[in-house]
Amino acid sequence: MQSVNDFLRRFVNVKVLDLSGSNLTILSEWVKECHFLQRLCLNDCKYLQEITGIPPSLKCLSALHCNSLTSSCRSMLLTQDVHEDGGTEFSLAGSARIPEWFDQQSKGPSISFWFRDRFPSIALFVASKSMDNKHLNSDFPSLTAYLRTNIYKYDIEFDIDSINLNLVIQPDHTYLYDLRLQEMKLESVLGEALLIAEWIHAEITFKCEGCIEEALVIESGIHVFKLKSSMEDIRFTNPYE
């Protein structure tokens, strides 16, 4: 009987590939030959342990509820060279540690930074870990990521409405998301604030209705794409102090 990997060798020119619910244990290196593949969905592949190759054009990878995925595989999928060009959106089963190449790390329900001139080109890392084994399934309430910005002008603080980042965080999963994917929404909401404020404070919070705060451990991180944003225009401490 022909294996899934052998069968899929015929489709090296695909741009979107959905293998959700398949019985794959290893997604072999053939997938690196799919030079046009941009979106790969592996949700609910409960036997999947390893992904041994990454297509050069891959931007979106979803491997939700793939609970057999090894920690070494997650680490490989979170290496800097995979994401440094930006535009990636990876969702992986399991709670990974914040990669060392991230510039800022936080443990708790929020992470914040300061920026000026324009919203910086940054990647957001989020990992959630359930502290109660009975909630290891998908019926545990998910978290939603929101971004709130404050501007300071003449010692007066102005709140800008929260922005839903469209990132739904499930327990015991890891996410890496380029926030510039929502560039139009961010710039529309920020509007004139970018012109009148020298520094804008941004805080990303992870909210869950009906969750017990102690039931989940949230770790998050921010990486600045140095070729697209200047480190002089982003701070992780209050520049007014």
**Successive 10-residue mean pLDDT values, the chain, 241 residues:** 58 87 89 90 95 92 95 95 94 95 94 90 93 56 80 54 81 93 78 75 83 77 94 91 77
Place of tokens 């300071």: 152
Same domain, 114 and 147: yes
Same domain, 26 and 114: no
Same domain, 164 and 50: no
Looking at residue 153, what is its pLDDT? 54
Residue 2 falls inside a structural domain: yes
Looking at residue 156, what is its pLDDT? 45
Same domain, 134 and 200: yes
Same domain, 236 and 121: yes
Looking at residue 163, what is its pLDDT? 80
Separation CA 235–CA 112 (nearest Å): 9
**pTM as predicted:** 0.88
Same domain, 119 and 201: yes
Q: Is the Cβ–Cβ distance between 107 and 219 less than 8 Å?
A: yes
Separation CA 69–CA 88 (nearest Å): 20
Separation CA 38–CA 24 (nearest Å): 20
Which helix (DSSP H) or strand (DSSP E) does residue 8 occupy?
helix 4-8
Looking at residue 6, what is its pLDDT? 64
Looking at residue 232, what is its pLDDT? 92
Separation CA 173–CA 64 (nearest Å): 7
Same domain, 158 and 235: yes
Residue 44 falls inside a structural domain: yes
Same domain, 185 and 228: yes
Domain that holds residue 145: 98-241
Pull the structure tokens for residue 158. 């102005």
Q: How far is CA 171 from the centre of its chain?
A: 14
